Amino acid sequence: MGGLIDLSGDFAYTLAAFLVVLTVLVFVHELGHYLAARRCDIRVEVFSIGFGPEIWGFDDRHGTRWRLSWIPIGGYVKFFGDADAASMPGETGALNEAERAVAFPCKTVGQRAFVVVAGPLANLVFAAVVYAGLALSLGVAFTPPVVGEVQPDSAAAAAGLRSGDRVLSAGGSSIERFQDLQRVVRLRPGETLAFEIEREGTRRSLTATIGRRTLVDRWGNKSDIGLLGISQAGVEIRRLGPVAALWHGAMETWHTGGAIMTAIGQMFAGTRPLDELGGPLRIAHISGEMAKSGFAALVAFVGYMSVSLGLINLFPVPLLDGGHLAAYAIEAVRGRALSLRAQEIAARIGLGLVLALFVLGTWNDRYVLRLIADALGSLFS
């Protein structure tokens, strides 16, 4: 009986952590759209966390309906003049002058683009604030990029790296911390990289062919990472002031975004397997694991996911923010918007792509599905 209680409690804990992470990310994203719209004097009709029927809501003094809905995957802001929550333009010919002044489709291309890009930017700024808050409260683990031990028969040994060498750059990237070196190496398994090091006060150049290791997580998902074969010389915790913490947060967001984009580029190039792409189930499980690891780990995961959400939404795919920005760019060049028919076709294509990615992510999470099925089977057996 105790095992069943633990199992159901673990499932509830994971679900709660997932909903907290997702709600925070969606709220920040949609708040960016909302604030930008208010800045441009656009009437916001609905601010919804989730889709489907409303669970709870209220109307503010500006006429916006703030609501929680039953389907928690995502959210939206609906502007006056839009036909639906996907910002498909509605008919504006019958609007009077006062209504046209607050209708989203009647605003300039620049204003509409500003409102659209504000969502992803809000996620990126929020991630920087999260990382800065962690640095300010807990400090930053600083590991100088100095080689501790070199493993025999490793890529580092073959390249001639020695204990005590300080790595200055790797693959064209400047190295300030050991974590910077790990970030570069992990994303480039099998590649030959140029290194600049300092040894006994003298700068030297080396090349190393990065090793490859295949990792298998607890759900059976495989991923290849690069391996150099060195250990760090030591770790120290540095306390940062407010300004330094904000700078650290901005740089951490930049490096995280760069790593995400590199991994996505490698998937498109075929050098990184697509099964590393996860869906909501994997995010839910990771949320639960991070929550079990502690509040700081969960907050750091929220920062990482906020960067991911911001960048992915900037992809030029119809229905995503990047798709709207691409349409506005075409409108700016042509001098007029795409026809409603063209926008409808693009929206259908975008919906198909988003659904395909959702299906692929869910298929990659089939091991998570198996864990859930086993858990439910044990729960009700």
Burial-class residue 267 by CB neighbours within 10 Å (0-12, 13-18, 19+).
Answer: middle
Which residues are the active-site residues? 30
User: Tokens 């499980």 belong to which residue?
Assistant: 285
Strand partners, 51: 71
CA 90 to chain centre: 31
Q: Using CA atoms, how far apart are residues 364 and 276, in angstroms rounded to an integer?
A: 7
Q: Contact 21/291 with Cβ under 8 angstroms? A: no
3-class DSSP state for residue 167?
A: strand
Render the burial of 10-43: b for 16+ CB within 10 Å, e for the rest. ebeebeebbeebbebbbbbbbbbbbebbeebebb
Q: Contact 314/321 with Cβ under 8 angstroms? A: yes
Contacts of residues 19-23 at CB distance under 8 Å and 24 or more positions apart, as own/partner, are 19/72, 20/287, 21/283, 21/287, 21/298, 21/301, 21/302, 21/305, 22/72, 22/73, 22/283, 23/49, 23/72
- CA distances to 136, 253, 327 from 239, in Å: 7, 19, 46
- The DSSP bridge pattern shows strands 147-150 and 173-174 to be unpaired
Residue 34: which residues within 8 A CB-CB, separation 6 or more?
44, 47, 64, 77
- CA distances to 42, 185, 209 from 189, in Å: 49, 7, 8
Q: Determine phi and psi for 103, rounding to 5 degrees.
A: -90, 135
Helix (H), strand (E) at residue 197: strand 192-199
